[in-house]
Amino acid sequence: MSSPGTPPSSDNHGQSYAEVYRRSTDSPEDFWLAAAEAVEWETPPARALDDSAAPMYRWFPDASLNTCFNALDRHVRDGNGDRAALIYDSAMAPDASRTYTYAELLDEVSRFAGVLKDQGVVAGDRVIVYMPMIPEAAIAMLACARIGAVHSVVFGGFAAKELATRIDDAGPVVLVTASGGLEPGRTVDYLPMVAKALELSGTPPHTVIVKDRAQVPGSAADYQGGGAAWFDWDTLMADASPAEPVPVAATDPLYILYTSGTTGKPKGVIRDNGGHAVALTWSMRNIYDIGPGDVWWTASDVGWVVGHSYIVYGPLLAGATSVLYEGKPVGTPDAGAFWRVISDHGVSALFTAPTAIRAVRKADPDAKEIEKYDISSLKTLFAAGERLDPDTYAWATRVLDRPVVDHWWQTETGWAICANLRGLEPMPLKAGSPTVPVPGYRVEVVDAEGNAVPAGAEGNIVIGLPLPPGTLAGLWRDPERYVRSYLATFDGYYLTGDSGYIDEDGYVYVLGRSDDVINVAGHRLSTGSMEAVVAGHPAVAECAVVGIRDELKGQRPSGYVVLKAGVEIDPDTLRNELVAMVREQIGAVATFRDVTVVQALPKTRSGKILRKTMRQIADHEEYTVPSTIEDIAVLDALKKQLGG
């Protein structure tokens, strides 16, 4: 493969945001071709964008490459095989923790790619990866990319029915799994769920490969049948011959990822190879200021897009060291877990969800655990996945004494829409804002008719087409649904589904999903704005505000709060103080009166609060328990508390 390196024209480091953003919008063809020079191609692109089938756009249509080669082989070839590539840190099974160099990871990936080839997997075939947070999950993903197969990672522990629907939609030929996952105080057996999913599926894969974990009973030998042949990972790897990388078209799919919370027919987001490699390589340098040899930690899961982009692909494309953590922010064993990992591995930057920060704050509000560890290596804390409320931002900034950078993106985009780009000239941080649009994204706010609204006015956040490289190339086997879901509402724009505003300085504020805007006596009010106020109370660790039915006003806001650890406050006193705060900062029009103290908020496994389900419970409506819920007991407790 060609090795053009990274010429000065593609290096924006330290430049002003305004200049880089202007180039991305004024000359997108030149901008992205320059960015593409940081990637190694089998056939380098002569064109950046193919708009011949607009609004279905394709990036680098005349190019070919291999994503795995860019993530592993080229670093080894260039003399960096001894550099740490992947640090597996398991708080659940500490004896299993280990570090893989780039050469060692390449060997594992090449051999498992050979295993897949031996099972008949060829370029374009789909492979389901249903794994816990162990190195084999990343190895399986990279092995698929190596031979041009399309992986679809399903969060380990999803129920059999949900796994079956994804099997039927993706049509995999192989399913890769493990005997189970580890949670605080318990194990999660995967194999019974896999076996049940095969029974439910109309198109089961012909092969199941099982990584046997010593901590979880069960093996491939125990689960033969279901229309598939079952094999042991280690047995197959012992006899495997390494497979060489297979070049694929830049526009060929790298993976399918199903959006969380789907019901009925799942929505499979397609990510291509070429645009994905270019976007993530650019983002590591320019958004996160991470380069070769830096230790980068994304505290997420490979079942979510954050894990795809910034546990596996992004850091390895950049030649950095990626931490893969099996554990929780608290309880494994305590609220110092994050600081311990940073200290042990010299982490330069941590990327996690706001809900994780709030969990640490709730358990250790005075941040006493930090004093036990040396976190001097940490330069930046990045947060995404849910709005980083100003109070949590202020707490993290104070206790860490480092930049805390909110940024906003979606499963569909695959990388940040808005961010404070740390690799460019620093910009001021503003609490409550993910700062500005990332180069390549033309972010606007429009009203219900699609008209631009003035600065400071709330509306629908949209992105002008075409979306930049690395964003979704469509929905798997459903182009009509792609257009209907994202492109049909406002002509020429991608609908994010979020509401917010842009201030006079061009900073974007994301207030929540558009359906979280409630109508109170004819006034459209954002529950996200109210949450920001409620979260500012010194007793509140976490909160959610949802709109519930009101016979007089149509809807009214109802608040649910989790108290900080050790805090005791009279419920009526808390309610009166919160009502006064909302009245002062938003106005009496909000009619905020209902406050319920709860032990925990129901969330997805990726940390998003299930506001819609909470509203349905409060309104005594029927609801479906989401497949993505983290803890069903929390939902049951809330239902009992609200009389649902």
Q: For the chain, what is the domain count?
A: 1
Distance CA 553, CA 519 (A): 8
pLDDT (tens digit, 9 = 90+) per residue, 103-114? 999 999 999 999
- Alpha helices for 525-601 (secondary structure H): 527-534, 571-585
Statement: residue 170 has pLDDT above 80: yes
Q: Would you report the helix, strand and coil content of the chain in percent, each value rounded to 5?
A: 35, 25, 40
570 within some domain: yes
Q: Which pLDDT score, from 0 to 100, does residue 426 have?
A: 85
Q: How would residue 519 be classed by pLDDT, with cut points 50, 70 and 90? A: low
* Chain segment 390-446, per-residue pLDDT in tens: 889 999 999 999 999 999 999 999 999 999 999 999 899 999 999 999 999 999 999
Assign 523 a pLDDT band (cuts: 50, 70, 90): low
Residue 2, pLDDT score: 41
Q: Is residue 176 part of a domain?
A: no
Report whether pLDDT(251) > 60: yes
Question: How high is the mean pLDDT of the chain?
Answer: 92
The first and second tokens of residue 196, run together, are 């049940």
Q: Which has the closest alpha carbon to 356: 301, 274, 318?
A: 301
Nearest to 163 by CA among 124, 205, 123, 122: 205
Question: How much is the average pLDDT of 169-193?
Answer: 95
The answer, yes or no, to whether residue 100 has pLDDT greater than 90, is yes
Give the range of the structural domain holding residue 535, as residue numbers without chain letter.
521-641
Q: Is residue 605 part of a domain?
A: yes
Q: What is residue 511's predicted lDDT score, i.e. its pLDDT?
A: 82
Share of the chain above pLDDT 90, in %: 76
Six-digit token pair at 433? 């804002």
Count the neighbouring beta carbons within 10 Å of the beta carbon of residue 281: 25
CATH number of the domain at 563, please: 3.30.300.30
384 lies in some domain: no
What is the spatial distance between Cα 358 and Cα 356, in angstroms, rounded to a whole number? Answer: 5
pLDDT at 263: 43
Q: For residues 297 and 632, which has the higher predicted lDDT (pLDDT)?
A: 297
Strand spans (E) along 503-644:
508-513, 517-520, 523-526, 540-550, 554-563, 594-597
Could you tell me the two tokens for 162? 């949900």
pLDDT in tens, 2-47: 433 333 345 787 799 999 999 999 999 999 999 999 999 999 999 9
More confident residue, 155 or 348: 348
Q: Which residues contact 196 (CB under 8 A, 6 or more apart)?
A: 160, 164
Q: Tell me which of 190-199, 216-225, 460-469, 615-624 is least confident.
A: 615-624
218 token code pair: 């069960």
Find the helix packing angle between 632-641 and 611-618, rounded to 10°. 30
pLDDT > 70: percent of the chain:
95
Residue 335 lies in a domain: no
Q: What pLDDT score does 371 carry?
A: 97
Q: Is the pLDDT of residue 159 over 90?
A: no
Domain assignment present for residue 278? The answer is no
- Give residue 4's pLDDT: 37
Under DSSP, is residue 322 helix (H, G, I), strand (E, B) or coil? strand
User: Does a structural domain hold residue 231?
Assistant: no
Q: Is the dihedral of CA 229, 232, 233, 235 positive or negative?
A: negative
Q: Is residue 87 part of a domain?
A: no
